[in-house]
């Protein structure tokens, strides 16, 4: 048995591949374009493992997808491949349209061609699971109920708009062509192997380097934080038992303001790696101009996933963030490998030298 994972060298996809092969002998064919956010170092422990077949390529390459599907005959496709950083989407939306919309279209068409030719039993068992985001739902006021699966789509950034479009394509390919699909919409992930353009790894690395810890606006933007390994467990569960053409929201039940998150990281670093001068890392917090269209609050109602499939997160924010900080303290080689000149150029562009 085989599954095809797209975007399996990125943050969530890489964690999923590692998690899958830690608990299964089922082969993973891993297709990743290896953009700046794809990193084979994340998968170094699988070097020489016959269960992991890595292919560098783009989900927009329909001929490559068709060839991989025909050769490996997967029973499922899990689509993590996406451009995912809001700030980058503001500076350059074209890549997001190309990967998240056009790429998803090409993936759906390649999978539809493969699925159509399967024998009846194979067609019935096959699944395509599309991994998406809570950002498609827009923003919430402080007293609004969390996002449910029936919340209307109101994306506010080029990134979230492109992911919303991809979700609609997946739904349409089921209703028009019968393709057996599942969709998950997750809250903010954090954990090991997270590329340090996102808040948590950026703050950890900047703190250790003695650099400012940039906080957008007043720092009161609220996010629901989900430990990445909990997300991987949810995806496995949805793939195994989710109902066709259903959407499942995956959240951590951990609403925190950005300022709370940064102060928590500073307190952990004060404990685990104190500054030489005895000062707290919190003195490095710096407020920067808010980004355009910054959503104020995200929150996920994950009760459907718990009610129907028995999943709930194993980690609290307190336990997950401690594991995450410790991982970054312990994995200098991985960090050095991803913080290249192009990464430093991006930081200077986004936050100022």
If you average pLDDT over residues 283-291, what whole number do you get?
94
Q: Which CATH number fits domain 2-191+228-252+295-314: 3.40.50.2300, 3.40.50.720, 3.20.20.70, 3.20.20.140?
A: 3.40.50.720
Closest CA to 132 of 179, 178, 181, 80: 80
Task: Judge whether 135 counts as a catalytic residue.
Answer: yes
Classify residue 168 by burial, with Cβ atoms within 10 Å: 0-12, 13-18, 19+. middle
In this model, does residue 314 exceed pLDDT 80? yes
In this model, does residue 353 exceed pLDDT 70? no
Domain positions in the chain: 2-191+228-252+295-314
Tens of pLDDT, residue by residue over 42-67, are 999 999 999 999 999 999 999 999 99
- Give the integer Cα–Cα distance in Å for 340 and 256: 30
Tens of pLDDT, residue by residue over 98-126, are 999 999 999 999 999 999 999 999 999 99
- Give the integer Cα–Cα distance in Å for 39 and 262: 25
Task: Judge whether 216 counts as a catalytic residue.
Answer: no
Task: Judge whether 159 counts as a catalytic residue.
Answer: yes
- Tally Cβ neighbours within 10 Å of residue 285: 18
Write the CB contacts of 218 (distance below 8 Å, at least 6 apart in sequence).
Answer: 259, 287
* % of the chain exceeding 90 in pLDDT: 88
If you average pLDDT over residues 285-301, what whole number do you get?
92
If you average pLDDT over residues 18-34, what whole number do you get?
97
- Give the integer Cα–Cα distance in Å for 334 and 196: 11
Instruction: Please provide the average confidence, as pLDDT, over all residues in the chain.
Output: 94
If you average pLDDT over residues 287-301, what whole number do you get?
92
In this model, does residue 343 exceed pLDDT 80? no
Closest CA to 193 of 6, 8, 29, 32: 8
In this model, does residue 38 exceed pLDDT 70? yes
Residues 114, 137, 159, 328: which is the catalytic one? 159
* % of the chain exceeding 70 in pLDDT: 96
If you average pLDDT over residues 295-307, what whole number do you get?
97
Residues 32, 83, 87, 134: which is the catalytic one? 134
Tens of pLDDT, residue by residue over 201-251, are 999 999 999 999 999 999 999 999 999 999 999 999 999 999 999 999 999
In this model, does residue 22 exceed pLDDT 60? yes
Q: What is the pLDDT of residue 348?
A: 63
| pLDDT top residue among 85 and 72 | 72
């Amino acid at each position: 048995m085989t599954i095809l994972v797209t975007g399996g060298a990125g943050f969530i996809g890489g964690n999923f591949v590692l998690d899958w092969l830690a608990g299964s002998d089922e082969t993973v064919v891993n297709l990743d374009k290896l953009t700046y956010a794809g990193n084979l170092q994340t998968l170094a422990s699988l070097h020489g493992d016959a269960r992991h077949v890595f292919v560098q390529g783009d989900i927009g390459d329909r001929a490559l997808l068709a060839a991989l599907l025909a050769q490996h005959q997967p029973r499922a496709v899990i689509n993590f491949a996406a451009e995912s950083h809001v700030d980058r989407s503001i500076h350059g939306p074209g890549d997001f349209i190309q990967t998240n919309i056009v790429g998803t279209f090409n993936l759906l068409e390649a999978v539809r061609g493969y699925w159509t030719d399967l024998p009846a039993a194979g067609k019935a068992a096959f699944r395509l699971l599309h991994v998406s985001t809570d950002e498609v739902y827009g923003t919430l006021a402080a007293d609004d109920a969390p996002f449910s699966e029936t919340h209307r789509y109101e994306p506010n950034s080029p990134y979230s708009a492109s992911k919303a479009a991809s979700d609609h394509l997946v739904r349409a390919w089921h209703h028009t062509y019968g393709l057996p699909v599942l969709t998950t919409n997750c809250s903010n992930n954090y954990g090991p192997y997270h590329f340090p353009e996102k808040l948590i790894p950026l703050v950890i690395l900047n703190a250790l380097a003695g650099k400012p810890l940039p906080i957008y606006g007043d720092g009161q933007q609220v996010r629901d934080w989900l430990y990445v390994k909990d997300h991987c467990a949810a995806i496995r569960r949805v793939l195994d038992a989710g109902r066709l053409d259903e959407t499942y929201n995956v959240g951590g039940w951990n609403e925190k303001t950005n300022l709370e998150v940064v102060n928590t990281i500073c307190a952990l670093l004060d404990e685990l790696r104190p500054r030489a001068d005895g000062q707290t890392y919190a003195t490095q917090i710096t407020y920067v101009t808010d980004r355009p269209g910054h959503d104020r609050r995200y929150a996920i109602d994950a009760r459907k996933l718990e009610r129907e499939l028995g999943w709930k997160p194993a980690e609290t924010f307190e336990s997950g963030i401690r594991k995450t900080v410790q991982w970054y303290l312990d994995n200098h080689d991985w960090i050095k490998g991803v913080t290249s000149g192009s990464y430093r150029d991006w930081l200077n562009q986004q936050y100022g030298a």
